[in-house]
C-alpha cells in the first residue's frame, strides 16, 4: 500500500522557520521524483519545489532563497526547510511522488504563518 505521510506543520510567526517531512512507503522511493505543493484557502494548488531522483531541485519563484528541499533515500523521506516565513506562505502543504504515469499524494499538513 502506497503512503506519503507529511509532518512538521504548525503555527509560526512571520520570519520564523519550519521543517516539513514526508515519509514514503509502498513504492521504490529512490527512483521517483518528489515534490512539495501547497494550497491556500480559495486558491488552486501550486508547486513549491521538486527534487529529481538524482537530487536536482527546482523552486517556485515565491520561495527561492527561503525554502530548501532535500531527500534521504535511505530513510525514504523528503524534507522542506522553510525559513523567513511570510503570512502568504500559509497553506496546506502536500507531498507528491511522481514516476509517469504513476503519481501519489499525501494527506497534507497545515502551515500557518501569523503573529
Residues 6 or more apart whose CB falls under 8 angstroms from that of 59 comprise: 48, 49, 67, 69
- The predicted structure's pLDDT at residue 50: 98
- The predicted structure's pLDDT at residue 38: 98
- The predicted structure's pLDDT at residue 101: 94
Contact 108, 94 (CB under 8 A): yes
- The predicted structure's pLDDT at residue 48: 98
> Distance between CA atoms of 87 and 73, rounded to whole angstroms?
32
> Distance between CA atoms of 33 and 60, rounded to whole angstroms?
16
Which residues in the chain land under pLDDT 50? none
Amino acid at each position: 500500500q502506497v503512503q506519503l505521510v507529511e509532518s512538521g506543520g504548525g503555527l509560526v510567526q512571520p520570519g520564523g522557520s519550519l521543517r516539513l517531512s514526508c515519509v514514503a512507503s509502498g513504492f521504490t522511493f529512490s527512483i521517483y521524483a518528489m515534490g512539495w505543493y501547497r494550497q491556500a484557502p480559495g486558491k488552486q494548488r501550486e508547486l513549491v519545489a521538486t527534487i529529481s531522483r538524482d537530487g536536482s531541485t527546482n523552486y517556485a519563484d515565491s520561495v527561492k532563497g527561503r525554502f530548501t528541499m532535500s531527500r534521504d533515500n535511505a530513510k525514504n523521506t523528503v524534507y522542506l526547510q522553510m525559513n523567513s516565513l511570510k503570512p502568504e506562505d500559509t497553506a496546506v502543504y502536500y507531498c507528491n511522488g511522481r514516476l509517469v504515469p504513476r503519481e501519489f499524494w499525501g494527506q497534507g499538513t497545515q502551515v500557518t504563518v501569523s503573529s
